[in-house]
């Protein structure tokens, strides 16, 4: 049986799609996810294309499909340690970090309430804190708390344990190692937001009220640090003049030499978030070229025609603090031929996508581009890569790609069962 | 926006690329460069505008533009360019071409800026100087000493040969530069919108420009290549020092009671011995300090260029020819002095080499990067008069 199984590395929208499509076609699938929850980057979005629905609607149905399908197994807080090819199949070693909370957890929040320690909330990009015993986010799947051992010190764990009526807190939990034999591996490791503080002139981390596009998603999301109200970080003021700086790191050989594909659409989308909350607010989008692939062009027209939205050709190359916590950007208005300084309440950097494999390459014989993206043509038989592990893509393209990869991995596992040539 | 028909000059685009602007076509007009440039004005900033003009082969717009010379090639643009389009290098190539465009003669300009002609260019002064040596009857090596010491003045009989030669060469070069500069001025003037009025008088603009140049005010605004202004300042002031030395030495050559020019021409003047000695001491001090500063400065220039190569680009033949000539001039000058003091016959050929470098610098000044100070100075004056800087 194991010979016909498929291993999916990464439980984001791509990995979930591969796993569900293959499992619903009758194949055994195991998902290995590094986070304590499934859903990946999509879970962090306020709304996503193409339908601009909140992730609840898209992810929840996938969570249910996972829950209801006995052929899908998944491991969270898991990491692939090694892979050895053997007779057309792969022996994969996976390590599991201790969650310190077992599956008796009913998510009653008692442990978090009792917990005296805090940790920066990475789900909200550090814009808020959670207790050291926490649920990653409201709709997290599995609906199971986690204890962050690094932040939970000096009797903190004991307090959590005492608060739990269900015996779910297990402080003695140890790291585990799993051996999985699989006939196909699908790499769905996804992306990280590029660390745009490396572009010092753009002010991230140096200038107050400069945030990234992913932070804007969290600010606008109902389960975000501000309960879905867009407020600027320094003083909680409602931002009425917002600038979007396109190509923050992308199309730049000093950072990411490629177009990150999604950032123009993200800024247009976030302009709609802003206008929905503050109809009188203005949005200024500074771009090199607006790139709205395929049918997205229509969305561009829609946002372009909104009142208070303006587009200026010219890359912002300097961002500085201004009085009252405002932010001044400098650019050359290319069409007007003038260098201008403009001051805003808040500046959103449309930071690009970086393949997760750039920071953490897999223990697999895979070739990467200089930027850490997987080169599909270099993959060995039985190994596939999907979505943003290969190139920057949106959710829709990731899902299409993942569906195709599901078929390929099924073929591979059938071949493997018949003895791969 | 008014409609305009552009006539791209594709040959010009190729010329820019061949002149050291290989990266020109990489520019995608994001305008990062115009923002990071600290010497560019807010209104129609450079160098983004020049990049698109060059891509479209708009030769006239570029050549009549004061901006190509208001750029000091700080290379902040090049370091921050997201595409490796190196605007600093491209503008440098355009500057080189504009020198060729305006200089008299353009034929000479083309020869000076092509590596294949380098030896030929050097052969000219070497041949002339060797002819002088032969004229003195010293080619066989039988050179008489002055009180048992080497004296270059006697070796080449400077009154008769060297001084007139270099005076003529310098005057020709100045005349050529003057014509080039006036052509550039007219071109810039033709690019002004109709009805423009000067924001500043010519005299005030010149004074202001000289102040800026002396203090390196604009150069100091560079960020990536910050160290360059110090190196440039060393070279710049040592040139001034050497210029003063030359003038004073020339004064001595004219005035000396028995051996001076006036005496040679039969009109000796009375001049006190102490005044003459004082004059010699003064210019020797200035000359030696300047020589050392020149060598230190030009070595720093080289080191900076090497260190900045990754961020700012290494530069082209046009840059390195000028740097090498200045370095060669300084080093052989100091060597000639030391060898003369050491009283060794090698001093003579070194002196010939040194004079060849001097000749090279002066004779080819209107066509080489030496001309940059005149063109940039002119653009700065124009920029001040039009309120551009």
Residues of chain B in contact with residue A352, where contact means CB-CB under 8 angstroms, are none
Cβ neighbours of A165 (radius 10 Å) = 11
Q: Do A339 and B40 touch (CB under 8 A)?
A: yes
Residue B227, token pair as written in the block: 């160290």
Residue B268, C-beta contacts closer than 8 angstroms, at least 6 positions apart? B257, B258, B260, B262
Residue A421 has pLDDT above 60, yes or no: no
Residue A2 has pLDDT above 50, yes or no: no
**SS (HEC) of A328-365:** EEEEEECCCCEEEEEEECEEEEEECEEEHHHHCCCCCC
Q: Read out DSSP for B272-323?
A: -HHHHHHHHHHHHHHHHHHHHHHHHHHHHHHHHHHHHHHHH----HHHHHHH
What pLDDT score was predicted for residue B268?
79
Residue B87 has pLDDT above 90, yes or no: yes
My answer on whether B88 and B165 are in the same domain is no
What pLDDT score was predicted for residue B16?
94
Residues of chain A in contact with residue B41, where contact means CB-CB under 8 angstroms, are 339
Which tens digit of pLDDT belongs to each residue from B165-190?
Answer: 888 999 999 999 999 999 999 999 99
Closest of B22, B185, B8 to residue B88, by C-alpha: B22
My answer on whether B32 and B168 are in the same domain is no
What share of chain B in percent tops pLDDT 90?
67
Residue at a domain's end among B102, B121, B148 = B102
Measured in angstroms, the CA of A253 and the nearest CA of chain B are apart by 5
Q: Read out DSSP for A72-100?
A: EEEESSEEEEEEEEETTEEEEEEEE---S
Residues of chain B in contact with residue A331, where contact means CB-CB under 8 angstroms, are 31, 35
What pLDDT score was predicted for residue B118?
95
Mean pLDDT of all residues in chain B? Answer: 91
Task: State which residues form the domain around B31.
Answer: 10-102
My answer on whether B233 and B251 are in the same domain is yes
What share of chain B in percent tops pLDDT 70?
99
* Whole-number CA gyration radius for chain B: 23
My answer on whether B34 and B113 are in the same domain is no
Tell whether B347 is covered by a domain.
yes
* Whole-number CA gyration radius for chain A: 23
Tell whether B302 is covered by a domain.
yes
* Residue appearing with tokens 């599991």: A96
Mean per-residue pLDDT, A172-182: 95
Residue at a domain's end among B102, B129, B144 = B102
What pLDDT score was predicted for residue A420?
47
Tell whether B310 is covered by a domain.
yes
Mean per-residue pLDDT, B75-103: 94
My answer on whether B111 and B43 are in the same domain is no
Mean pLDDT of all residues in chain A? Answer: 95
Which tens digit of pLDDT belongs to each residue from A92-136?
Answer: 999 999 999 999 999 999 999 999 999 999 999 999 999 999 999
Number of H helices, E strands in chain A: 9, 22
My answer on whether B351 and B314 are in the same domain is yes
Pairing of strands A353-355, A191-193: antiparallel
The interface predicted TM-score of the complex, written ipTM, equals 0.88
Residue pair A287/A259 in contact by the 8 Å Cβ criterion: no
What share of chain A in percent tops pLDDT 90?
92
Tell whether B186 is covered by a domain.
no
**SS (HEC) of B265-282:** CCCCCCCCHHHHHHHHHH
Least confident of A57-61, A97-101, A213-217, B58-62: A57-61
My answer on whether B173 and B320 are in the same domain is yes
Residue pair A15/A31 in contact by the 8 Å Cβ criterion: yes
Enter the DSSP assignment of A101: B
Tell whether B3 is covered by a domain.
no
Q: Band the pLDDT of B5: cuts 50, 70, 90.
A: confident
What share of chain A in percent tops pLDDT 70?
98
Mean per-residue pLDDT, B192-220: 93
Mean per-residue pLDDT, A278-306: 96
What pLDDT score was predicted for residue A419?
52
Closest chain A CA to residue B50: A337
What pLDDT score was predicted for residue B275?
87
Which tens digit of pLDDT belongs to each residue from B315-334?
Answer: 889 999 999 999 999 999 99
Which tens digit of pLDDT belongs to each residue from B221-272?
Answer: 999 888 888 999 999 999 999 999 999 988 888 888 777 778 878 887 888 8
**CATH assignment at residue B73:** 1.10.1060.10
> Which string of b and e fits A231-249 if b means at least 16 CB within 10 Å?
bbbbeeeebebbbbbbbbb
What pLDDT score was predicted for residue B1?
53
Question: For the whole model, what pTM was predicted?
Answer: 0.91
Q: Do A315 and B32 touch (CB under 8 A)?
A: yes
Q: Do B82 and A251 touch (CB under 8 A)?
A: yes
Number of H helices, E strands in chain B: 18, 0
Mean per-residue pLDDT, B25-35: 96
What pLDDT score was predicted for residue A315?
97
Tell whether B275 is covered by a domain.
yes
Which tens digit of pLDDT belongs to each residue from A357-370?
Answer: 999 999 999 999 99
Cα–Cα distances in angstroms (integers) from residue B225 to residues A203, B76, B82, B201, B307, in the given order: 22, 8, 18, 33, 9
Q: Do A339 and B45 touch (CB under 8 A)?
A: yes
Q: Band the pLDDT of A374: cuts 50, 70, 90.
A: very high
Residue A159, token pair as written in the block: 């307090």
* Residue appearing with tokens 């909350």: A277
* Residue appearing with tokens 């990467």: A368
Structural domains of chain A, ranges and CATH numbers in brackets: 2-96+175-192+354-417 (3.50.50.60), 110-163 (no CATH), 195-351 (3.50.50.60)
Residue pair A371/A354 in contact by the 8 Å Cβ criterion: yes
Tell whether B363 is covered by a domain.
yes
Mean per-residue pLDDT, A251-255: 96
My answer on whether B271 and B326 are in the same domain is yes
Closest of A78, A73, A123 to residue A97, by C-alpha: A78
Which tens digit of pLDDT belongs to each residue from B337-386?
Answer: 999 999 888 888 999 999 999 999 999 999 999 999 999 999 999 999 99
Q: Band the pLDDT of A313: cuts 50, 70, 90.
A: very high
Q: Do B42 and A318 touch (CB under 8 A)?
A: no
Measured in angstroms, the CA of A203 and the nearest CA of chain B are apart by 14
Cα–Cα distances in angstroms (integers) from residue A148 to residues A40, A112, A145, A160, B145, in the given order: 19, 11, 10, 12, 91
Tell whether B227 is covered by a domain.
yes
Number of domains in chain B: 2
My answer on whether B93 and B226 are in the same domain is no
My answer on whether B227 and B79 are in the same domain is no
My answer on whether B157 and B247 are in the same domain is yes
What pLDDT score was predicted for residue A417?
66
Cα–Cα distance, A352 to A152 (Å, whole number): 33
Give the residue from B4, B26, B27, B31 with the most A CB atoms within 10 Å of its CB, the best one to mutate.
Answer: B31
Mean per-residue pLDDT, A151-173: 93
Residue B336 has pLDDT above 60, yes or no: yes
My answer on whether B165 and B272 are in the same domain is yes
Residue B158 has pLDDT above 80, yes or no: no
Residue at a domain's end among B102, B119, B141 = B102
Cα–Cα distances in angstroms (integers) from residue A139 to residues A44, A145, A296, A418, in the given order: 11, 12, 29, 41
Q: Do B30 and A288 touch (CB under 8 A)?
A: yes
């Amino acid at each position: 049986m194991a010979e016909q199984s498929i291993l999916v590395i990464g439980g984001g929208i791509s990995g979930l799609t591969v796993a569900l499509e293959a499992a619903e076609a009758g194949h055994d699938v195991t998902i290995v996810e590094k986070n304590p929850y499934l859903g990946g980057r999509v879970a962090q979005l306020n709304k996503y294309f193409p339908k601009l629905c909140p992730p609840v609607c898209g992810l929840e149905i996938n969570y249910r499909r996972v829950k209801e399908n006995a052929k899908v197994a998944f491991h969270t807080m898991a990491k692939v340690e090694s892979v050895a090819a053997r007779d057309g199949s792969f022996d994969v070693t996976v390590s599991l970090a201790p969650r310190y909370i077992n599956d008796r957890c009913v998510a009653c929040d008692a442990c978090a309430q009792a917990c005296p320690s805090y940790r920066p909330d990475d789900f909200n990009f550090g814009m808020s804190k959670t207790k050291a015993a926490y649920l990653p986010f409201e709709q997290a799947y599995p609906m199971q708390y986690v204890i962050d051992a690094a932040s939970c010190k000096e009797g903190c764990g004991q307090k959590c344990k005492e608060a739990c009526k269900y015996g779910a807190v297990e402080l003695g939990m140890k790291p585990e190692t799993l051996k999985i034999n699989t006939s196909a591996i699908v790499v769905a490791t996804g992306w990280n937001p590029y660390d745009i503080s490396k572009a010092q002139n753009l002010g991230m981390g140096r200038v107050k009220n400069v945030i990234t596009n992913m932070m804007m998603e969290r600010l606008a999301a109902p389960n975000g640090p501000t309960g879905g109200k867009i407020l600027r970080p320094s003083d909680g003021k409602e931002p009425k003049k917002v600038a979007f700086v396109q190509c923050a790191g992308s199309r730049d050989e000093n950072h990411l030499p490629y177009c990150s594909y999604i950032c123009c659409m993200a800024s247009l989308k976030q302009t709609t978030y802003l206008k929905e909350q503050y109809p009188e607010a203005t949005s200024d989008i500074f771009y090199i070229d607006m790139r709205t692939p395929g049918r997205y062009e229509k969305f561009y027209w829609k946002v372009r025609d909104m009142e208070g939205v303006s587009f200026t050709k010219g890359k912002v190359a300097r961002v500085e603090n201004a009085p009252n916590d405002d932010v001044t950007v400098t650019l050359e208005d290319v069409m007007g031929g003038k260098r201008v300084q403009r001051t805003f309440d808040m500046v959103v950097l449309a930071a690009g996508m970086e393949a997760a494999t750039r920071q953490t390459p897999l223990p697999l014989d895979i070739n990467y581009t200089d930027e850490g993206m997987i080169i599909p043509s270099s993959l060995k038989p039985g190994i596939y890569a999907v979505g943003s592990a290969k190139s920057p893509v949106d959710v829709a393209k990731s899902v299409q790609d993942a569906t195709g990869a599901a078929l390929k991995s099924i073929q591979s596992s059938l071949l493997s069962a018949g003895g791969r040539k | 926006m008014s409609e305009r028909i552009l006539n791209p000059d594709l040959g010009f685009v190729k010329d820019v690329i061949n002149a050291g602007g290989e990266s020109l076509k990489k520019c995608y007009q994001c305008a990062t460069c115009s923002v990071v440039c600290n010497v560019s004005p807010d209104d129609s900033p450079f160098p983004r505008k020049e990049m698109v003009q060059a891509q479209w082969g708009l030769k006239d717009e570029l050549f009549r533009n004061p901006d190509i010379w208001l750029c000091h090639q700080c290379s902040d643009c090049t370091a921050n360019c997201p595409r490796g389009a190196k605007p600093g290098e491209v503008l440098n190539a355009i500057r080189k071409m504009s020198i060729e465009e305006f200089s008299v003669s353009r034929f000479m300009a083309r020869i000076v800026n092509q590596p294949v002609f380098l030896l030929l260019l050097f052969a000219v002064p070497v041949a002339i100087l060797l002819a002088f040596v032969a004229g003195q009857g010293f080619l066989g090596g039988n050179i008489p000493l002055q009180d048992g010491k080497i004296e270059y003045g006697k070796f080449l009989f400077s009154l008769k040969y060297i001084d007139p030669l270099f005076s003529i060469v310098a005057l020709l070069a100045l005349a050529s530069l003057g014509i080039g500069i006036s052509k550039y001025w007219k071109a810039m003037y033709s690019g002004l919108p109709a009805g423009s009025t000067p924001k500043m008088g010519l005299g005030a603009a010149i004074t202001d420009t000289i102040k800026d140049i002396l203090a390196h005010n604009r150069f100091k605004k560079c960020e990536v290549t910050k160290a360059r202004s110090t190196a440039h300042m060393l070279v710049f002031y040592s040139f001034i020092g050497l210029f003063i030395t030359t003038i004073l030495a020339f004064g001595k050559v004219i005035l000396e009671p028995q051996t001076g020019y006036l005496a040679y021409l039969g009109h000796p003047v009375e001049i006190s011995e102490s005044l003459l000695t004082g004059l010699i001491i003064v210019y020797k001090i200035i000359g030696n300090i300047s020589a050392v500063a020149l060598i230190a400065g030009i070595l720093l220039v080289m080191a900076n260029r090497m260190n900045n190569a990754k961020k700012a680009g290494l530069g082209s033949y046009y840059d390195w020819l000028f740097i090498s000539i200045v370095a060669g001039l300084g080093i052989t000058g100091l060597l000639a002095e030391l060898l003369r003091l050491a009283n060794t016959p090698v001093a003579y050929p070194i002196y010939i080499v040194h004079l060849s470098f001097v000749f090279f610098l002066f004779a080819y000044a209107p066509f080489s990067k030496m001309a940059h100070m005149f063109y940039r100075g002119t653009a700065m004056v124009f920029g001040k008069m039009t309120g551009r800087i």
